[in-house]
Structure 1
Amino acid sequence: MGFISILSFAHKLIEERVQPGETVVDGTAGGGVDTAFLARLVGPSGIVHAFDIQQQALDRTASRLEQECPGRDVRLHLRSHEAMLDAIPEENHGRIGAVMFNLGYLPGADHETVTEPASTLTALEASARLIRRGGIITMVLYTGHSGGLEEAAEVERWAAALPQKHFQTLQYRFMNQINHPPYLIAVEKR
């Protein structure tokens, strides 16, 4: 038996904090794994907002949702996660249960289309405003691509600078794996 995987640990942290009927966000829809997880978690009365800049990613996500959790209220946004404050209705600001990010590129797609530090930091600032007390932001950082280490360093700086009075942050990573293994940073609002 080994340690829990990075993505499974992110899911576990969210499961402990999000209730059915809540509104949640997937900031990087990708293949739809996290979007479907969130849709199952919040149930038929909850809402999921999922963002991606690639139509291919949203198509994959829609297909996964049809198979795994049809009938759930999932709103797919073909736009950058940096626009989430504009896309999510104002009455939900400060009431979001969780925001998830997988930072890097869409597996099986163009590896030149990657998340960028500037838009990611804007999205993280928005997420910190969107989540409720006890809400969580998870960021799985993939660093093996061009620019990945730089983006991860910016995300770490952002998370470390959050005021302790209002947020707590953690990092979960495997230390002896080769080839730039992903790792997790999680932020909980106090």
Structure 2
Amino acid sequence: MRSAVEMSHLFLRNVLHSQAVCVDATLGHGKDAQFFLDQGCRQVIAFEIQEDVLLETVQRIGDSRLEAHCQGHETMEEVLTQEVDAMIFNFGYCPHADSKIKTSWSTSLIAVQKGLQMLRKKGRMALVFYPHAQGQMEAERIESYLSTLDSQDYWVIAFHPLNQRAVPYLVGVEKRKETSC
């Protein structure tokens, strides 16, 4: 069985191409940004609030197509000037970094709302949730919002095991037509 992150990459792969603009909304150690770059995408815009993590990741990846910003993902509209093909969020904390620094449901919800506005038609957003207490609340709040989206505008699906509790899982969103959230 594939992990939630592997499933997120499979979900996003169909919208990636040589001119694709992608967003890694939670850069961390850059696995998702590296995935986008490995697929040959034109540009990857990334957000990370931990400067030391961002600098280490940018240096390790060493690819001019990666544009990384040391700011919260809820401010993405300050940076994004065009529609995007794919966007990914890995909520929670960055492994092997300060585990006290976590995403929060309030800023993450704002980022998801703004991200949906920035997706082009047929663009996709992958959201990977992790099962710690704060992560559960974050997932519930964001899923509650996503469940209100008009199905004519967005297709929203969850990938999670039915016979396991407290495991990471994926929620995928595809923009079906041009909208304003």
TM-score by length of 2: 0.92
Once the two structures are aligned, what percentage of the paired residues are identical? 28
Residue 132 (1) aligns with residue 155 (2): no
Deviation at 1:59, TM superposition (A): 2.3
Aligned residues: 176
Out of 85, 91, 97, the position equivalent to 1:97 is 85
- Residue matched to 1:57: 53
What are the residue-to-residue correspondences of 1:104-115 with 2, within 5 Å? 104-115=92-103
Q: Deviation digits for residues 55-100 of structure 1, max 9, x if unmatched?
A: 122123213312xxx3x411110000000011112xx0xx210110
What are the residue-to-residue correspondences of 1:11-30 with 2, within 5 Å? 11-30=9-28
List runs of 5+ in structure 2 lacking aligned partners.
177-181
TM-score by length of 1: 0.88
Asked if 2 retains the 8 angstrom alpha-carbon contact of 1:27 and 1:81, the reply is yes
- Residue matched to 1:82: 74
AA in 2 matched with 1:12 = L
- Residue matched to 1:37: 35
AA in 2 matched with 1:134 = K
Deviation at 1:132, TM superposition (A): 0.5
Q: Superposition RMSD on alpha carbons, in Å?
A: 1.4
Q: Deviation digits for residues 138-170 of structure 1, max 9, x if unmatched?
A: 0000122x4111101011111111110100000
AA in 2 matched with 1:74 = L
- Residue matched to 1:181: 167
Residue 5 (1) aligns with residue 12 (2): no
Q: What SS is found at the alignment partner of 1:161?
A: coil
Asked if 2 retains the 8 angstrom alpha-carbon contact of 1:53 and 1:80, the reply is yes
Q: What SS is found at the alignment partner of 1:11?
A: helix
Residue range with higher mean Cα deviation, 146-155 or 180-189: 146-155
Out of 136, 147, 157, the position equivalent to 1:149 is 136
> In structure 2, what is the Cα distance between the partners aligned to 1:157 and 1:124?
12
